[in-house]
């Protein structure tokens, strides 16, 4: 691991903790996984993109971190449960779950096919449900856990051609709150991070157009598009004991973009 010379440095926040990050092959998930390793967590990562997972694994191991890697289709309960079992067999416990895996949708509502609805809801909601349900027994037994779900500002504001995406992220936001209530009495924190416009694989085609990128920048009070690291910073904060009294909430990380959509 990298050395820490500053007495205020937080590079040991997750020493001996076990963190699982879904959708860790790129973007926000990769940034979160690498940061957990940098702060001395043992990391389990999954995705359907095996090439990207290997890249993330290499970054983690370059930091001296320990990493479990597995290809997982989060829409399939048996694959999710098998991965949780593998994490527990390898590391003995699970302290932190980051449900980052997700997909987008840009089809006007009148033209949405059943298959598109199922795809978006299965990836953005069902996968989160499967992972939370599979992880909670261990966290409840340990009387300790941190769950952070990645939602979106689109959980509370509508986007053109994104009706099903809106519905999925709104469901993810409420699932977060519902789980938070249901684990009352346990030392488990359940929260969400709601990104605004972030430069990731889902947005690179749109933001690769300078005019489109400028259109968004003009509507973001901070006057820039977020990088995955901006979101990872918030995820790690909510995963830390510094956020021990934050529970059942969504932290919007959007450069103030949601303020312009009221």
Q: Which of 130, 165, 186, 245 is catalytic?
A: 165
Our measurement of the distance from residue 92's CA atom to the centroid of its chain's CA atoms, rounded to an integer in Å, reads: 22
Q: What is the mean pLDDT of residues 100-127?
A: 96
- Full DSSP string of 149-203: EE--GGGTS--TT-HHHHHHHHHHHHHHHHHHHHTTTSSEEEEEEEE-SB-STTT
Our answer to whether residue 165 is catalytic in this structure is yes
Rounded CA-CA distance 65/77 in Å is 28
Cβ proximity of 71 and 46 under 8 Å: yes
Beta-carbon contacts of residue 1 (< 8 Å; ≥ 6 apart): 11, 37, 38, 40, 63, 64, 65
Q: Where are the domains of the chain?
A: 18-261
Rounded CA-CA distance 45/68 in Å is 6
Beta-carbon contacts of residue 231 (< 8 Å; ≥ 6 apart): 28, 31, 32, 150, 193, 195, 198, 253
Cβ proximity of 43 and 60 under 8 Å: yes
Our measurement of the distance from residue 125's CA atom to the centroid of its chain's CA atoms, rounded to an integer in Å, reads: 12
The per-residue pLDDT for 1 is: 47
Burial of 147 (0-12, 13-18, 19+ CB in 10 A): buried
Give the pLDDT confidence of 182-222 residue by residue, as tens digits: 999 999 999 999 998 887 766 666 666 677 778 778 888 88
Q: Is 258 left (phi over 0), alpha (psi -120 to 50) or beta?
A: alpha
Give the pLDDT confidence of 3-58 residue by residue, as tens digits: 554 434 567 899 999 999 999 999 999 999 999 999 999 999 999 999 999 999 99
Q: Please, what is the average pLDDT of the chain?
A: 92
Give the pLDDT confidence of 226-259 residue by residue, as tens digits: 899 999 999 999 999 999 999 999 999 999 888 8
**β-pair partners for 71:** 47
Alpha helices in the chain (DSSP H): 27-38, 50-62, 77-91, 114-121, 127-142, 163-182, 204-207, 210-218, 228-239
Q: Which CATH architecture has domain 18-261?
A: 3-Layer(aba) Sandwich (3.40)
């Amino acid at each position: 691991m990298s050395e820490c010379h500053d007495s205020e440095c937080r590079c040991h926040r997750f020493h001996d903790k076990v963190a699982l990050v879904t959708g860790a092959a790129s973007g926000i998930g990769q940034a979160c996984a690498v940061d957990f390793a940098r702060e001395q967590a043992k990391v389990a990562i999954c995705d359907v993109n095996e090439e990207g997972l290997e890249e993330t694994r290499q970054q983690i191991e370059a930091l001296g971190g320990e990493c479990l890697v597995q290809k997982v289709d989060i829409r399939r309960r048996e694959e999710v449960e098998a991965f949780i079992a593998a994490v527990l067999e390898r590391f003995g416990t699970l302290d932190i779950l980051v449900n980052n895996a997700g997909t987008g949708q840009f089809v006007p509502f009148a033209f949405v096919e059943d298959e598109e609805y199922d795809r978006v809801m299965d990836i953005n909601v069902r996968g989160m449900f499967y992972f939370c349900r599979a992880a909670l027994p261990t966290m409840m037994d340990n009387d300790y856990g941190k769950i952070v779900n990645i939602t979106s500002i689109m959980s509370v504001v509508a986007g053109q051609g994104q009706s099903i995406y809106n519905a999925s992220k709104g469901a993810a936001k409420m699932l977060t709150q519902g789980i938070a209530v249901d684990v009352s009495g346990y030392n488990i924190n359940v929260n969400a991070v709601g990104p605004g416009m972030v430069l990731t694989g889902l947005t690179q085609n749109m933001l690769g157009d300078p005019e489109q990128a400028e259109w968004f920048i003009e509507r973001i009070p901070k006057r820039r598009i977020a990088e995955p690291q901006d979101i990872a910073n918030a995820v790690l904060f909510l995963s830390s004991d510094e956020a021990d009294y934050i529970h059942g909430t969504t932290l919007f990380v959007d450069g103030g973009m949601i303020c312009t959509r009221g």
